[in-house]
Structure 1
Amino acid sequence: MDVFYEVFGWIGSILIVVSLMQARMLVFRWMNLVGSLVATAYNLIYGIWPYVAMNVAIVIINAYWLNRLYREANDPDVYQVLPTPSDSPFVLHLLRTHSTDIAHFAPDFTPEPAAEDRRHTFLVVRGDEAVGVVAVREAGNGVGEVELDWVKPRFRDFTPGRFVYRDSRALPDAGFRQVRLTPHEMTDREYLRKAGFRTERTEWVRDLTA
């Protein structure tokens, strides 16, 4: 039985350590919560009360943040959309800094649009932090081609990019009545459905309220 408890304790420790290496906030919080619960039970079995108290505190902290993160995930007052010039130094810096990650989701995207393209860029922000970028190119007649819909890994589980399409006036105010995109291998189809897109032949299409 002691061997079982030792293995049980090691599992908790491993989960806590691995959680600290996670870039995604939701994954980090859940792994840390489970690891702390296991560690609490292990230390409770052996009566190591200081570590019981510490891990109980960590469990409570993780539970608080998970509740807050899930609550804020659908709050347009938390995630806001800022129309930003495509040649903004900050936007270009953000896109270049994360170019490797962006290339997985939009391999044909370049930070600087072609001279003939009319690109509209929208920053998704949480407080004072930019968490994502949506770039839309004018295709004529109020139709926009989504060139990029990218979010930092930390926030990816919360799909804040959907606020650009669903809860913001940014696209209609820019003159778009419809946006379209051609999905890539890494495109999250379920995310597109939640954002209000529908399939139309090889494209995903979303109509916008005027």
Structure 2
Amino acid sequence: MAILLYQKTITLRKEVFMNTKVLIEAIGYTGSALVLVSFLMVSVVKLRIVNTIGSVIFTIYAFIIHSYPTAIMNLCLVMINIYYLVKMSNTSQNAREYDLVKVSPDDSMLQYTIERQKDDVEKYFPGTTDMVSDTNTAFIVCYKGAPVGVFAGTKDENGCVDILIDYCVPEYRDFSIGKFLYANLQAEGISSVTFSGPDTYHQEYLSKNNFTKSGDRYLKVL
């Protein structure tokens, strides 16, 4: 009887050990996968956020298996990521980093930027890339002289612009361009903006920039 009980205890301990080992390995694989996936992301902000999460998980794994050099390396990665995330957050809030350039709807740089990003623009604003020249109001948002966002729409006599395109390149898709843009449009004689296009991929952006839905369109008073 005692031998049988001992054997059951040993078996149970082995099962617990195996389950614990599997759990620990799962933690390690999860951390590694997140770090790897982060490098596939276009947005630098998302890359650093996901990389930080992966590094934290892998740090825990490294401490569990007593791999202290690996743990220290990943802790350093976490601190580096946090440093740059804070720096990017401060930069995003600084409107002076961007420049708003008013252009004509048929401006060559505007057309070039839209054409260069055509597939992505069409994803967010289907069927609009060939209609920009029909609008009467357009702006390019630049960062250090490079175009990173475009805005085009039709302005009525009351200063309300019906937005056709309000697009920013993936690398700067952290809502900072939108905040900068709408903080400066009033100085350009625009009192309000509306958007009535598809919102499948645009809803979060509209919400972050305080648009309110009214019927089948979104409205923002400046």
Tell me if both proteins adopt one fold, taking TM over 0.5 as the criterion. Answer: yes
Question: Sequence identity, in percent?
Answer: 26
Which of the two has greater helix per residue?
Answer: 2
Question: Which residue in the other structure is 2:192 paired with?
Answer: 178
Q: Deviations over 1:28-52 (max 9, x none)?
A: 1111001111222222233333322
For residue 49 of structure 1, what is the amino acid of its counterpart? Y
1:12 alignment partner AA: G
For residues 203 and 130 of structure 1, the distance between their equivalents in structure 2, rounded to whole angstroms, comes to: 28
1:97 offset after TM fit, Å?
A: 1.3
Tell me which of 77, 90, 95 is aligned to 1:71. Answer: 90
| Contact in 2 for aligned 1:180/1:204 (Cα 8 Å) | yes
SS in 2 for 1:43: helix
What aligned pairs does 1:9-20 form with structure 2 within 5 A after superposition?
9-20=28-39
Structure 1 contact 79–125 (Cα < 8 Å) conserved: yes
Alignment of 1:127-146 (within 5 A): 127-146=144-163
Paired with 1:13 and 1:194, the residues of 2 have a C-alpha distance of 32
Q: Is the 8 A contact 2:31 2:57 kept in 1?
A: yes
Secondary structure in structure 2 of the residue aligned to 1:134: strand
RMSD: 2.4
Cα distance in 1 between the residues matched to 2:157 and 2:127: 21
For residue 107 of structure 2, what is the aligned residue in structure 1?
88
Give matches, 1:123-202, under 5 Å.
123-165=140-182, 167-168=183-184, 170-173=185-188, 175-186=189-200, 188-202=202-216
Give, in angstroms, the shift of residue 89 of structure 1.
2.8
Look at both structures and tell me which one has the larger radius of gyration over its CA atoms.
Answer: 2
Task: Output the CA distance in 1 between the equivalents of 2:221 and 2:30.
Answer: 49
- d(CA) in 2 for partners of 1:66, 1:95: 29
TM-score with structure 1 length normalisation? 0.82
TM-score by length of 2: 0.78
2:63 pairs, out of 32, 44, 51, with 44
Q: Give the aligned partner of residue 74 of structure 2.
A: 55
**Residue equivalent to 1:28:** 47
Question: 1:119: which partner in 2?
Answer: 136
CA distance, structure 2, for counterparts of residue 190 and residue 10 of structure 1: 32
Q: 1:128 to 1:36 in 2, by over 3 A?
A: farther
Name the SS for the 1:80 alignment partner: strand
Whole-angstrom distance in 1 between the partners of 2:69 and 2:140: 45
Secondary structure in structure 1 of the residue aligned to 2:66: coil
Distance 1:9 1:200, change over 3 A: closer
1:198 partner letter: T
Match of 1:98 among 117, 139, 145: 117
The CA distance in 2 between the partners of 1:122 and 1:171, in whole Å, is 13
Distance 2:35 2:142 in 1: 29
Q: Which has the higher contact order (CA 8 A, sep 6+)?
A: 1
Unaligned regions of 5+ residues in structure 1, if any? none
Provide the C-alpha distance between the structure 2 equivalents of 1:135 and 1:181, rounded to a whole number of angstroms: 11
Q: Which amino acid aligns with 1:15?
A: L
How far did 1:187 drift? 5.2
State whether residues 23 and 154 of structure 1, in contact with CA within 8 Å, keep that contact through their aligned partners in structure 2.
yes
C-alpha distance 206-2 of structure 1, shift in aligned 2 (>3 A): closer
C-alpha change, 1:118 and 1:185, in structure 2 (3 Å) is closer
CA pair 3-82 structure 1, distance change in 2 beyond 3 A: same
